Amino acid sequence: MPFTLKEAEATFPGRVHWVDDDVVLASRGRCIFVSRDRGETWKNLCAIPLPLLKRIRSAFKLSRRLLRFDVEHVARLGEDFLFLAFREIWIYRGDSRTIEKAQHSIVGSRPLNLCRVDDRHLYYGEYRGNLERSPVHVWGSKDGGIHWKPAHEFTTVRHVHGVYKDPYSESIWITTGDYDNECYLWKTDDQFASVDRVLGGSQQERCTTLLFTADHVYYGTDSPLEQNYLYRFSRDSLEVERLQSVGGPILQGYQAGGTLLFSTDCEPTDVNYSGVSEVWYSNNGKDWKTLATFPKDIWHLKYFQYGQVKFPAGVSADNYVWITPYAVKYDQTSLKIDTSQR
């Protein structure tokens, strides 16, 4: 089901990163924008103070893709307190309208997600090539992103895919990869004083994003080696249920109201490559349909990145979802979609 701009409730010429009540946060280049009316109007909030050469790198869509020079994560921490990741960590203070660099540089290439526990506590997983299989860490901050230190060390995995807060408990979940004996879902109930292995051991547990409901945990596999599927498992029994085959690896997921969503990558593998990024959705967790598809654009997969559809962080209480096609049709243009009308 190819998507057209006429179907969008609203658009933004950049990437939407965060949704929280009526507040939407987005970026374009090095600039951060805020909307306080769900994306109807926008205000330029701040600009990351980069030197001239880096400003040029961040100014154009293709240079951002080629050089991997994007704003990756934005989180709302309190009323006017933001966390920004742009190869480095930046903090914007709304009371003084100033932006400062944190006393910590991101370890690894770029984390695949940022876990916000509350306004002070944050985590991200160390994500890098790590062919030598040296120890990798979950990094944590207790002061809103200013200072960071290792919260947990993994010695038996290649890298950390994601760190997620379970909204139905005090648990934090971690996903790791990439080979069979490195692909696990882990959980901590005590802020990483202990970490328990829950599921894993094969490519069918190689996943990045987790979504949570009262009864189940959902994930999609991101394997380039095997057919990929959507799964869920019961919180009580840990029984795993295969839900839906998909056309490529899954890195992104989101919840909008009662709707669950995942998107696939255009990753060139012998098993998975379809040439489109698919957005899948379900209103009951059991039955899944394609919300939209976006064909890969003309630019080289290796140099200008695999095609994908990115979701924001935060919580959407209604059925509207912001998506950002990336390296596909409508590249880096965020679209607001009413899932109840699909």
Domain boundaries of the chain, sorted by first residue:
5-341
Query: Which of these, 78, 140, 73, lies nearest to 112 by C-alpha position?
Result: 73
What integer pLDDT is reported at residue 1 of this predicted model?
Answer: 67
What integer pLDDT is reported at residue 59 of this predicted model?
Answer: 95
Contact 275, 38 (CB under 8 A): no
DSSP string, 102-150: EEEEPSBS--S--EE-SSS-EEEE-B---TT---EEEEEESSTTSS-EE
Give the pTM.
0.95
- Weakest mean pLDDT among 49-53, 69-73, 76-80, 241-245: 76-80
- Look up residue 107 and give its amino acid: V
Confidence of residue 5 (pLDDT cuts 50, 70, 90): confident
Contact 221, 204 (CB under 8 A): yes
Phi, psi of 329 (to 5 degrees): -55, 140
What integer pLDDT is reported at residue 212 of this predicted model?
Answer: 96
What integer pLDDT is reported at residue 3 of this predicted model?
Answer: 78
Confidence of residue 30 (pLDDT cuts 50, 70, 90): very high
Q: How far is CA 48 from CA 58, 71, 119, in A?
A: 10, 10, 21
Confidence of residue 154 (pLDDT cuts 50, 70, 90): very high
CA atoms within 13 A on the CB side of 310: 26
Contact 321, 337 (CB under 8 A): yes
Average pLDDT score, the chain: 94
pLDDT tens digits, 312-335: 998 887 889 999 999 999 999 999
Confidence of residue 198 (pLDDT cuts 50, 70, 90): very high
Q: Specify the fold of 5-341.
A: Methylamine Dehydrogenase; Chain H (2.130.10)
Parallel, antiparallel, or unpaired for β 313-315 and 15-20? parallel
Q: How far is CA 269 from CA 78, 272, 280, in A?
A: 42, 5, 20
Query: Which of these, 270, 332, 277, 280, lies nearest to 307 by C-alpha position?
Result: 277
pLDDT over threshold 70, residue 202: yes
Across 147-156, average pLDDT? 96
pLDDT over threshold 90, residue 8: no
Beta pairing partners, 2: 293
Across 245-253, average pLDDT? 95
What integer pLDDT is reported at residue 104 of this predicted model?
Answer: 87
CA 73 vs. chain centroid, Å, equals 8
pLDDT tens digits, 93-133: 988 999 999 988 899 888 999 999 999 999 999 999 999 99
Burial class (CB in 10 A: 0-12, 13-18, 19+), 255: middle
158: Cβ contacts below 8 Å, ≥ 6 apart: 130, 133, 136, 176, 177, 178, 179, 182
